[in-house]
Amino acid sequence: MKLIFFLERMETPIGRMLLFTDEQARLRVIDWQDREHNMHRLMRRQYPGTTIELHEASQGSDAARAIRAYFEGDLTAIDQLEVATGGTAFQREVWAALRSISPGVTISYLELATRIGRPAAVRAVGLANGANPISLVVPCHRVIGSNAQLTGYGGGLHRKRWLLEHEKAIPTAAEAPQARLPGL
């Protein structure tokens, strides 16, 4: 089997993003340029036994326009983008549940596992979350630890924090209460 993906590169406030669409204009992969090696590894895992032919996109896609609008403040611009993924049935179930998390909302891995009817599968949900090939649009950054701490994000915790601040899910550093030393 052979798939053809079209690559676009776009600058964002948190680094150069790589996005791949297919011949039907469905979004297949998003990652950051500084993680390109990892992205290719994940693609091989997502599509075993498949030849993926990569081409530079000749024109901007609807996906790139929607992602640009997201970064410019229209947080729902990416909600209706059509995506297609490889992966296992379980991974696709987790990724579909991720798309139901609204901008500005965070949930725990346990809550995500509960939403798919598998509360005992927290670890498996975490692994599926980490294998998500379409970060941002399949918003794995909105999943945090049960203790409300930011936990792993393939693009780096600095990007996860920026995305959650952008969505007003967590306060920005300037809005967060400042720690005071005793006696000051």
**Can you give the pLDDT at residue 147?**
85
- Give residue-wise pLDDT tens across range 59-78: 889 999 999 999 999 999 99
pLDDT at 27 over 60: yes
* Residue 116 contacts residue 124 (beta carbons within 8 Å): no
The 10 Å CB-count burial string (b at 16+, else e) for 14-49 is bbebbbbbbeeebbbbbbbeebeeebeebbeebbee
pLDDT at 178 over 50: no
- Give residue-wise pLDDT tens across range 3-26: 999 999 999 999 999 999 999 999
Question: Average pLDDT of 131-151?
Answer: 91
Question: Average pLDDT of 163-176?
Answer: 80
C-alpha span between 179 and 38 (Å, rounded): 37
* Position 149 confidence tier, pLDDT thresholds 50, 70, 90: confident
The helices-and-strands tally (H runs, E runs) of the chain is 6, 6
97 vs 39, which has greater pLDDT? Answer: 97
Question: Average pLDDT of 49-63?
Answer: 91
Residues forming CATH 1.10.10.10 domain(s) in the chain:
89-166
pLDDT at 179 over 80: no
**Across all residues in the chain, what is the average pLDDT?**
89
* Residue 128 contacts residue 94 (beta carbons within 8 Å): yes
C-alpha span between 77 and 73 (Å, rounded): 9
**Can you give the pLDDT at residue 2?**
92
Cite the active site residues.
140
Which fold would CATH assign to domain 89-166? Answer: Arc Repressor Mutant, subunit A (1.10.10)
**Can you give the pLDDT at residue 182?**
43
